[in-house]
């Protein structure tokens, strides 16, 4: 599989289709999930053309660090950091990945169960 330049998140990053953007830096974009699985459900994406964690290269370490720090800052801005939140990165078929542009789910606003189904 190769990276799809016309994929949904590539289009959102290029601002070709709308999204409710909550955070943006040079390397990272975050927007509300269109089909939320929790009261707060934000997707945090690197602007890199990377399909999944399995597609990462060593040179992406800096941007991936920025992604995690973005999650920290967004959780604080949305006021969910103290009660808590879950970060999820689905990778390939068994994890249920549907969109093949690497993304972190930030889920919050309700109690979550463990382990995930």
Residue 103 among the catalytic residues: yes
One residue of 2, 6, 35, 113 binding ligand AMP per CB under 6 A: 35
Contact 46, 27 (CB under 8 A): yes
CB nearer to ligand AMP: pick between 58 and 98: 98
User: Binding segment for ligand AMP among 33-41, 54-62, 64-72, 79-87 (CB under 6 A)?
Assistant: 33-41
Least CB distance to ligand AMP at residue 42 (A):
10
Token pair for 44: 């945090």
CA distance 95 to 75: 24
Positions touching ligand AMP (CB under 6 A) are: 8, 19, 33-35, 43, 90, 96-99
């Amino acid at each position: 599989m190769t990276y799809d330049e016309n994929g949904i998140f590539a289009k959102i990053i290029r601002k070709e289709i709308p999204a409710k953007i909550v955070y943006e830096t040079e390397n990272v974009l975050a927007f509300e999930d269109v089909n939320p699985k929790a009261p707060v459900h934000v997707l945090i994406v690197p602007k890199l053309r990377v399909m999944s964690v399995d597609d990462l290269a060593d040179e992406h370490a800096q941007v991936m660090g920025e992604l995690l720090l973005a999650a920290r800052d967004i959780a604080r801005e949305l006021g969910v950091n103290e009660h808590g939140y879950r970060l999820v990165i689905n990778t390939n078929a068994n994890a249920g990945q549907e969109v093949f542009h690497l993304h972190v789910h930030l889920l919050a606003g309700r109690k979550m169960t463990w382990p995930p189904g």
